[in-house]
């Protein structure tokens, strides 16, 4: 049976809701890599990020403050390189960024990236183009976990989906809305995958308890199982 990489994308709202529920949701998904949007970036932000990593039994791979992004990895994975890119800054808007971890299991490598696009449509579209440019520079097939802040019919989403596979639309649980967690109406979170990779399954994970999903954040997580290169 081919080996797969379990990648979880999750907007955790800076752990402002129930941090213990966030940790329970993540652990229940048994991820190899966790890509977080809205990771803590204010008071005691480093302490809070380290606490979450320890609570989930994971290691902090990328966790710089600007952009509120974080990547956690399982101890079984090697991290060959990490980078953090700032996207173009628009006046009066939040600083957006892209965090990338080049991970390896054996000889097989994947560039796992995370980003969080803006609420403003013009910035969102421009940043989507920047993400594609940065991912194109990676030495391995890329996976992008992203809170797009727009629905799949939006121009930024469509740009990304033209070049990458929208894994979040796959079954058996794919295509379901991710926001808000207590009454989901909009699919604004997904995991995009390089077309050289194979998505085995993707969507909102079934393992977490419903009460934890609602208590943890205003977003639902997205989990993708991706065949490692050369193991399809």
Contact by Cβ (8 Å): 176, 184: yes
pLDDT digits (tens, 9 = 90+) for 177-213: 999 999 999 999 999 999 999 999 999 999 999 999 9
* Integer Cα distance of 136 and 139 in angstroms: 8
Q: Which structure tokens are listed for 9?
A: 């994308």
Structural domains of the chain in order of their starting residue, each with its CATH number: 4-227 (3.60.10.10)
* Integer Cα distance of 115 and 142 in angstroms: 13
What distance lies between CA 40 and its chain's CA centroid?
Answer: 15
On the 0-12 / 13-18 / 19+ scale of CB atoms within 10 A, 172 is exposed
pLDDT digits (tens, 9 = 90+) for 34-84: 999 999 999 999 999 999 999 999 999 998 999 999 999 999 999 999 999
Angle formed at CA 98 by CA 40 and CA 202, multiple of 5 degrees: 85
């Amino acid at each position: 049976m081919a080996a797969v990489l379990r990648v979880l994308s999750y907007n955790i709202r800076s752990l402002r809701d129930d941090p213990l529920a966030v940790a329970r949701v993540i652990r229940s998904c048994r991820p190899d890599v966790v890509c977080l949007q809205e990771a803590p970036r204010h008071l005691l932000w480093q302490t809070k990020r380290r606490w979450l990593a320890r609570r989930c039994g994971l290691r902090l791979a990328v966790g710089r403050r600007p952009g509120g992004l974080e990547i956690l990895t399982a101890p079984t994975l090697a991290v060959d390189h990490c980078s953090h890119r700032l996207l173009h800054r628009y006046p009066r808007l939040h600083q957006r960024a892209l965090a990338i971890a080049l991970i390896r299991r054996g000889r097989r490598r994947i560039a796992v990236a995370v980003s969080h696009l803006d609420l403003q449509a013009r910035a969102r579209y421009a940043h989507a183009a920047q993400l594609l440019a940065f991912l194109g520079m990676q030495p391995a097939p890329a996976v992008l976990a992203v809170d797009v802040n727009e629905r799949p019919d939006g121009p930024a989403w469509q740009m990304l989906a033209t070049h990458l596979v929208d894994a979040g639309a796959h079954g058996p649980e794919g295509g379901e809305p991710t926001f808000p967690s207590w009454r989901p109406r909009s699919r604004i979170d997904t995991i995009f995958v390089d077309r050289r990779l194979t998505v085995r399954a993707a969507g909102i994970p079934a393992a977490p308890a419903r009460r934890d999903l609602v208590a943890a954040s205003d977003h639902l997580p997205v989990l993708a199982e991706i065949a490692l290169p050369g193991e399809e």
